[in-house]
Structure formats: structure tokens, C-alpha cells
Structure 1
Amino acid sequence: AYSAVFDGAEWPWEALKVLESWLEENITPRIPPDLPEGVHLYGEKIHIAPGCILEPPLTIIAPALIGPGVELRMGAYLRGAVLVGEGTIIGHDTEVKNSILMNKVEVPHFNYIGDSILGNHTHTGAGVILSNFKISPGKAVRVKLDDEVVNTGIEKLGAILGDEAQIGCNSVTNPGTIIGKNSIIYALCNISGYIPPNTVVKNKPTYHQTILHKE
């Protein structure tokens, strides 16, 4: 059912342009009767499906559609239109803004997910940042696809991750990054442009060690 947000889109990021209005039109509000104290909800258009685990304190700002069996851990902050698929984990001190997370996504530790689309079974390690705003304001994000550069027409666009893609700890994706399905990004990488499917990206900084002599 969630795939309907992509109807009519030529490019996947176009779904983010209509996400807020799509949620406003399609959400039937539902709040669990046993909502824990410390779960802060703002706005009417919030749907939390059965079977969700909510660990307070956390904040959800409408519109937000939270699918069945989602786990929202302590400190999670969802705002600016969020669609979360079944069985997804949004962890401690993770912020999700104007994004689509499909089924079984894991963003479990200190992540920023801004204006992004994460496919099924994707994973971000601790401290991963999906940057969504260029350092030069007022310019639309351009997406590099092989030899083609596509002007998205939007100023804020994070990353798009294909199914099963993984990003290692403390990596950063620059605005408009596309990572193909099954690709693996190692820790401490600075990623931009287009990463094809089934690709491994490694960053191996050099380091030196010496013996510490104490008198």
C-alpha cells in the first residue's frame, strides 16, 4: 500500500515532494490505547499501527504513518512528514525528517535521516548522517547518474538507498547521493554521487603507532 506514494513519479525523489500531502490525504489517525507516558505526539494526522514498541521519551510530529511492528527507541524524533514501513527500527537519538523508510529498515543509533528514501532491509551504522542540504543555499540538489546530471528542482534531498544497502558507522552521504541495492559502504566514508548496485566502498585512512616510553 505504501508504494502508492510513488505513483506517477518519474524519479524516486519526486515522492518526497508529495509525501506530506499524500500522508495528509491517506492517514486515518490511530493512537494506541496504552500509549506510554513520555511519548509526545503533535498534530492529528498520526497513525501508529498495532504491535509497535514505543520507548519514551520520543517525539512524533504529524503527519506520520508508522507501520506494524515498528520499534521507536528512546530519543527518536520524527518530524516533517514521515512514512515508516513494517518492522523498522528507529533508534536512540535518531532524527527522521520528511523521509520514507520501507520495511525492515534499521537506523538504530545516533542517525540523521533527512529528506531520504531507504529501501527494504537497509541499515545505517551508528552515527551515519544522510545530509540533505547543500552548503550553498538557494540551489537545487543535482543528482549524478553515470554520465547524466539531473536537476531535482528541490533544495533538500538526502540519500536514496536501494534494498539491502548498508552504510557503516560515522559515514556521511552528501545531498543527492544514490546507493544501489545490496551495496556496502564501509565506516568513515564520505559518499556522493551514484554508487551502483552490488558495490563495496572502503575508506582506509592511514595511521601510525609508536611505543610510548615512560621513565
Structure 2
Amino acid sequence: MSHSSFRPATAVLLAAGLGTRMKSSRPKALQHLAGGPMLAHLLKSAAEVFDRLVVVIGPDMADVAEVAAPYPVVVQHDRLGTAHAALQAEQWFGDGDVAVLYADNPLISAQTLAALLEERRKPGVGLALLAMRPADPARYGRVVANAGNVERIVEWSDATAEERAIDLCNAGVLCADAADFRRWLHAVRNHNAKGEFYLTDVVDLAVADHAQVRAVEAAEDELRGVNSRSELAQAEAALQKRLRQNAMDNGVTLVAPETVFLASDTQLAADVLVEPNVVFGPGVTVHEGAVIRAFSHLEGCEVHAGAVIGPYARLRPETSVGENARIGNFVELKSATLAEGVKVNHLSYIGNAQVGAHTNIGAGTIVCNYDGVFKHNTSIGKNTFVGSNSVLVAPVEIGDNALIAAGSTITDTVPADALALGRARQTTKPERGKLFKDALKAKKENG
């Protein structure tokens, strides 16, 4: 598109709502879906379509402004309705087109937003809106249309029986030319029971101006509003279904898809296999051919090609697992970098550590990385064998090809190729075990 034909588009995201119906002290925009706040999901989709984004927040919402960054925010100091909220961003409208979105409609896809903008830009179309046909229209406002042109939106409480039978429902999102939108927003009146300025009144004003109003339909799972905990759960289920399908479409095997939970930024490469009951928190990347076995939990980590994780493993932030490594049951890693071919197969904790290639960490090994105030580092070389039930007290360094005897407590540097034993000498007293047990049994029998 040449510069002369470029027409900018601005998205205004309304995020001033409180969490009243959520029974929450956290604003609605910050309620979490798939590991991130609702507002972040909508920002991501909108940023793919619109040239400018601006977020309308309420007073004392610095936490919402932080999520909105780097996009500008404006404050709606008095909550006087959705049209009033949109008008607070008037200075950001500029030229071109403006769409008004809601932070509590977080699942609208970039494809749907692009379709909305495309419809608005068709010859003769003055206003475009999003609509859906929900399984249960319930108390949604009905979209009354004739030959494809929207005539009005009727709120359920004001609708006749015939109008309530209409299954096309308003999703609340509008898109219009910036100049028209400014004019219509300023013309909205608050002559209603709540004394608020409603964005939906813009539709009536557009029709009164003889502007052509068109509806763009999208799936209910995209357009559903999230105003309560139950609706939040429904949105989570819809988003998880979408994320799982995307993963499988990209070549990932989910053995039991309905039991796997993904974050919105989870990156799973082709030929990754995920067994049942796995949870991915934010910031996870899994490379080609890796296997994530059942009941594992991963967040903020990277798993390289061919590695096997779990079952029942926990990978915490700042962890990297090398190619073809093996992390087994009840192993926890935190701020740990494991090189190619490392094995940590059973019941171990490795934190603030670097482990060299092809090293084996025996069952029950613990890295003591925290002294109550500071975290300390542990470095383990390549081709090293750490025996079962070892305790590595950081800071400590273990060289290449070293051998740590089982049951050792290691507090000093272990040079390359060395054998380290850090345990008390065993003392054996013949017959004393039997005598001790017999004495205990006699004591019990005699009360």
C-alpha cells in the first residue's frame, strides 16, 4: 500500500471496569487466562491489526497501566458509562478508523478484528460491529437487521417476544471513521435508568445519520464477555481448546488434549509429545522431539530437542534442559542449566546450578543453594557421577569426570577426575541390633 493510500486504524481498549461481579479486589482486566491477564490477550490480538492502541483505565489502576505498557493510557475519572469511557481517548483517535474494544472480551482473534476493519472500509459502510449467535442468547442485546443492514440493537429488557426470538446478538465492539465516531460519541445522552452514556447508542445515532451499519459475525467462544468467575472459567476452557488445537495443528502430539493446560505463550515444536495431565506456565519453549511425561509442571524454562521430562517433574523459571537429557520423577529444577545428555532421574532438587554434558545425578541428590539470605551457585563438570543421596552445599565446584560417593555432603571444591567422600565412617557392632530390638519389645510388653 502506498503512503498516499494509507489509512491508519486505532483501537481503544476499555479497561476501567472493577472486579465487583468477580468478588475480587483485582480489576477485571487483570483476571488471568492461560497464564496472563485478560487485557494482555486483547492487546496482543489488537496489535496485529491496528496501527495505534490506547487503553482507558480507571483511577488508581497503576497495575493495569503497567500491563498496558508500552501503549498509552487515559484515565476515566468518573465511571459514567462505556460511551463516556471511549470519549476519554478522543485525543488519540487521529484520522482513519477507530474501533472500541472491551478488556473483558479478551478472546477476540486478530482475524476477527481484521474482518471488522475490512467490513468498515467497504464502500458505503459507516459503522461495523461484532455479533454472535450464542447457544443461549439469554439476556444479550438483539441485533435487528434487514437485508444485512443493522437497523437497531434492542436490549433484552426492552425487546418484544418477536425480537427476543432473534438469535443474532450484540458483542459490543464497534468500528467507524474517526470523525463520525467523535460526533456520535458526543451526541450520546444518558437518558436511561442508570444515567450512563452507553456505547450501543452509537448504533442508533449512525442509523439516524443514514449511515450503513453492518454486523460481522464471529464465534461465541471469541466474543463471550467475562464478568464473573463462572464466565472466566468458560473463557479459560474456550482458550485452552484453541491453544491445544493450534499445538496439534503444528505437529504436537497431545495424548489426552483435554488434560493438558497451556499458557498463551507456550511454544511447542513439531514432534513434541505431551502425555496426560501436564501444566505449562508462562514462558516455556520445548524443542523438536522432546517428551513431556505425565503430571509434570513447567514454567519459565526451555527444553531442548530429544529431552525427556517426567513423569511428575517440576521445571521452574530460568531452567534450561539440554538435548537428550533425562529428568525423571519427582525432580525439581530451578535456575539450572543442564547440558546435553545429563541425567537426573529420581527424587532430586537442582537449583542455581550448571551441570556439564553427560553427567549423572543420583537419586535423592540435593543442591543446598540458599543460606536463608542469599542464593549460591553450584558448578558440576561434564562426565561426572554424583552418587545417590548426596548433598552439595553451595557455593561449590565439582570438576569434570569426578566421582562423588553416595551419601556424601560436599562443601569444598572437587578437582577433575577426583573421588570425593564426605560421610562418616560406618561402625558395625555384632548382635547389638537384635539385643536393642528385644529390649524395646520387652519394654512394650511390660507396659
Q: Please report the TM-score for the alignment, with normalisation by the length of structure 2.
A: 0.36
String of CA shifts for 1:78-137, please: whole Å, max 9, x gaps: 002111110101111000001100100011000000110000011111100011011xx3
Once the two structures are superposed, the pairs formed by residues 136-151 of structure 1 within 5 Å of their partners are 137-138=372-373
Note the residue ranges of structure 1 that are not aligned, 5 or more in a row.
1-27, 139-154
The question of 1:191 aligning with 2:410 is answered yes
Q: In the alignment, is the contact (CA less than 8 A) between 2:353 and 2:378 conserved in 1?
A: yes
Aligned to 2:396: 177
Aligned to 1:207: 427
The question of 1:60 aligning with 2:298 is answered yes
The question of 1:110 aligning with 2:320 is answered no
Q: In the alignment, is the contact (CA less than 8 A) between 1:130 and 1:158 conserved in 2?
A: no
Q: Partners in 2 of 1:35 and 1:183 — Cα distance?
A: 35
Q: Partners in 1 of 2:335 and 2:305 — Cα distance?
A: 19
Aligned to 1:7: none
Q: Partners in 2 of 1:61 and 1:164 — Cα distance?
A: 28
Bigger mean CA offset, 178-187 vs 73-82 = 73-82
Aligned to 1:77: 314
Q: Partners in 1 of 2:335 and 2:395 — Cα distance?
A: 14
Give every structure 1 segment of 4 or more consecutive aligned residues whose post-TM-superposition deviation is greater than 6 Å. none
Q: Partners in 1 of 2:326 and 2:366 — Cα distance?
A: 16
Q: Partners in 1 of 2:328 and 2:299 — Cα distance?
A: 17
Aligned to 1:141: none
Q: In the alignment, is the contact (CA less than 8 A) between 1:96 and 1:112 conserved in 2?
A: yes
Equivalent residue for 2:378, pick from 135, 159, 182: 159
Q: Secondary structure at the match of 2:324?
A: coil
Aligned to 2:361: 124
Aligned to 1:50: 288
Q: Partners in 2 of 1:59 and 1:35 — Cα distance?
A: 11
Q: In the alignment, is the contact (CA less than 8 A) between 1:184 and 1:198 conserved in 2?
A: yes
Aligned to 1:38: 277
More strand by share: 1
Shift of 1:54: 1.8
Q: Which has the higher contact order (CA 8 A, sep 6+)?
A: 1
Q: Secondary structure at the match of 2:318?
A: strand
Q: In the alignment, is the contact (CA less than 8 A) between 1:113 and 1:158 conserved in 2?
A: no
Distance of aligned partners of 1:83 and 1:207 in 2 relative to their CA distance in 1, 3 Å threshold: same
Shift of 1:32: 5.2
Shift of 1:36: 2.9
String of CA shifts for 1:39-70, please: whole Å, max 9, x gaps: 10011x211112112211000012x1100110
2:277 alignment partner AA: G
- Among all aligned residue pairs of Structure 1 and Structure 2, give the percentage whose two residues are the same amino acid: 25
Q: In the alignment, is the contact (CA less than 8 A) between 2:315 and 2:334 conserved in 1?
A: yes
Shift of 1:29: 5.1
Q: Partners in 1 of 2:293 and 2:275 — Cα distance?
A: 8
Q: Partners in 1 of 2:392 and 2:294 — Cα distance?
A: 29
Q: In the alignment, is the contact (CA less than 8 A) between 2:274 and 2:293 conserved in 1?
A: no
Note the residue ranges of structure 2 that are not aligned, 5 or more in a row.
1-264, 439-447
More helix by share: 2
Aligned to 2:186: none
Q: Which has the larger radius of gyration?
A: 2
Paired residues in the alignment total 168
2:278 alignment partner AA: V
